[in-house]
Structure 1
Amino acid sequence: MTGTGPRERAVWQLFCDWCAASGRASLPTDPLTLAQFVAATPASQATQRRRVGVVNAIHARAGLPTPGRGEAVRQLIYDRRRGRLRERAIAAAGAITRLPDEGWPTALFASRDALLLVLAAAGLPATRMEALRIGDVCSDQSGHRILVRDENGGTLSTPDDLVHLGVSAVDIHRNWARIRSIQHRLSNPRFLAAFFRGESVPATGEAPPSLPLVTPVDRWGATPILDVPLSAPSIAHIVATHLAGAPVSHRPVNRPTPTLDPEDEAPEPPQVPELDPSMFSRGVAARYRAAQKLSGVSAALDDIEAKADRILADLLNLLSD
């Protein structure tokens, strides 16, 4: 506690007393504990910000992560931020309800964008979404919200506004987890296309927890060979276009249709041409005649080579004289 004034020591003592009463650790602490402390000790925004600043400063002096940077704490002490997140949640819910739910790969992009919008409504920046792995996201016990582990070790949940607006973040996350499992285990996009058409797909189990939550997808529904995450600029662009009401449209890829009507008669098999029985003997005779005519070629080439050698020898003798 060296380097702190009386007011800072009083704030820190209040925090330590609350942690001791609730059975939590004060140093180090986590963003969720600090958020619960802020919620359990009502005060003005200025006072709450000062309390969070004191806890952050003491953790920083001890070389520990500052818990006050967690999203849950920031939402509690900033009314303006809560208002912006509520507006974003409303806009995200409206964009999710406008997403298409059929077509290939249109429905795949819609499922991805729905998850990104849900995470954006929770206040996650694009850089954090890029770093998310499958194991960083799960459903809460109520079954209405999804929990996201933030970079400071805390937990952030999707807002209840989505549930009130008819958007189930849990269903969106569960559907995307199944999609990522198929993408990882069955690399051919035709399996994922069959999944969206409601056809049977081989069992894949759960995706690895270390797998990137969102990966790039081309217009044919294929993913990269290596498991790389979707970049933060791409995520920010996707979310911004949806919230602005002008998302990028993805053209569906039509399934190939047969050229023949199933009721049509099968085509006749091709006819095998009949060969002349004397064709083989005529070919043998032609090759025999050619061999007779070319029988003297080897002797003529040998004579030419001998003459060339004599001419070369005479030329060398002339040059030496």
Structure 2
Amino acid sequence: MPAADRLPDQVRTALGRVSHPVLIDLDRLEAVRQRFDLDQATSLGSYLQAAQSPNTLRAYRSDWVAWAAWCLAEGRQALPADPLDVAVYLAAAADTVRESGGWAFSPSTLERKAAAIAAVHAANGLPSPTRTDVVRLTLRGIRRTRQTPPRRKRPVLLPTLEALLAERPAPGWPGEIARRRDALLLLVGFAGALRRSELAALRFDDVIVQTDPRTDEPLLLVQLAVTKTDQTGGRQQSVALPRGGRPHTCPVCALASWAELLEVHRDGGHEGLRQWAEQRTEPARAVHRCHGYPGTDLADGQRRPLFPSVSRHGRIGTAPMSDRAVADLVKRYAERAGLDPSLFGGHSLRAGFATQAALGGASDREIMRQGRWTNPGMVHRYIRTANPLEDNAVTRLGL
């Protein structure tokens, strides 16, 4: 199957017809512009673009590139598509093998490819070829033939989290920038049971510092505007992160440290930040930094990303980290700690929360509340991983 970077010019020209983020061809957009004024057409385009997450749009566009390239090579029509052509394409993709000998595409990836083809047809007002029996039965046959257990990432438990935090860059310049940002990301992702996409989407004004009514100590309330289970943000979801018992695992301390650094950057720019980092000394690990921390307004009138990109030269970007960068960060820290990076990813923090909480005796309801799970069966997987003998009749066999 042709790679996107090796597509002939004819395919690239054809793809120009679906270059819009919502995969509507340019002829249809031009018809909209002729019927309505520029502001109205622009408004329509912006809302259509917001209908899908950026990750979904990127995946669909990549899938459409592959489908259009296959159609050109086989002399088929990509839009509207013949259902039999789609079924043959999915079957060919299912049989594709990597150089290493493994399958190139999982059943879930093939289903996403079908969904991308369906999305383009729907966006252009055409019936979906994937709803036909020949396509549905092809996908069902692929799933039955390729039954394999899902590959889950290893959870980051508390000892592993401490090992990752110990492998941060050295204090000073320029490592201090990533050192503070990454500590906050790891702690918020772990304690908040956040998905990597939720971490990447956080802005500074999404994090509110409040007082824990039980202890009169600070806690963080992290508000999630859009989540995997609430793409429209209709239900305001939030997670509470209490003050940690130790400074180096305290989310509030990590936020205070990161906010201090960003204040220096705001007031002195890159050069002022460099001078500050070169002159500062590492505080004692036994001292909490969150006592009396009121929170800091760093939004500057904008929704500033909580986790911006940081270059290896210590430059803080204006754009947030991508969700893929979050996963790469966890892998990178795992490798530094002497662990196999292929076993870890962005989901390791969320899975680590559930597993560690189960080890600590948390109930299903408590784990589901913080992790915002709606399916108890998913939580039970983590509990069984944490303690496979819990409520297990095998302990009563008398062996």
TM (normalized to structure 2)? 0.34
Q: Which has the larger radius of gyration?
A: 1
Q: State TM-score, norm by structure 1.
A: 0.42
